[in-house]
Amino acid sequence: MTQIFTSKGDVIPVTIIKSGPCYVTQIKSTENCGYNAIQLGYLEVSKTSNKLTKPQLGHFNKINLPPYRYLKEYKTSESINYKIGEKFSVDMFKIGECVSVTGFTIGKGFTGNIKRHNFSRGAMSHGSKHHRAQGSLGAGTSPGRVFPGKRMSGHSGMEKCTISGLEIIDIDTKENIIVIKGCIPGKAGNLVSITSKN
């Protein structure tokens, strides 16, 4: 994230996203897969890279395309309009258009109830033995167990999140960069998916 200044001197908080180019690596239809979708590949890697397995490399050799590090499927109404190797770049977006950005939020690891569920703490005086602990989890003899869904300590963050209505401020076609007003899910270097309302 950074900020830019308008001609009037207003400050706009923006996020700079390196987007694409992406290439169509597979076309799925209702005849062969039961649904219409296209698979896009991003970030070309060398064939000798240890990032991909042999089955993944075979997938690209079959369609005579260079291997890509990331693959993502997008459902479509019709898959006839697309071709293998077709390029998707920032040219398909326009300045002023509103888009939705999907990604994974920042992971926070194993957290307690106070941080994870906004629980309040106990007394911090010397006589108290309940500071940041969970407390009672349920009844005793009957039912003698903890009900599913009980809010407890555990893994926090790293959840799929979509932010809609983000305005495109600027586009750089040479560097494949999109400047979007506001913030997006995840940390710097996170892989996100940009979709247009159209």
What is the C-alpha separation between 89 and 173, in angstroms, rounded?
A: 8
What is the C-alpha separation between 51 and 44, in angstroms, rounded?
A: 11
Chain segment 23-62, per-residue pLDDT in tens: 999 999 888 888 899 999 999 888 887 888 899 899 999 9
Sorted by where each begins, the domain ranges of the chain are: 21-88
Query: What is the three-class DSSP state of 44?
Result: strand
Q: CA distances (Å), 153 to each of 36, 117, 130, in order?
A: 40, 9, 16
Residue type, 175: E
Q: What is the pLDDT along the chain (198 residues), one digit of tens a residue?
A: 999 998 899 999 999 999 889 999 999 988 888 889 999 999 988 888 788 889 989 999 998 999 999 999 998 887 578 889 999 999 999 999 999 999 999 999 999 999 999 999 999 998 998 899 988 888 888 888 999 999 999 999 999 999 999 999 999 999 999 999 999 999 998 999 999 876
What is the C-alpha separation between 53 and 60, in angstroms, rounded?
A: 11
- Architecture of the domain defined by 21-88: 2-Layer Sandwich (3.30)
Q: What is the pTM of this model?
A: 0.81
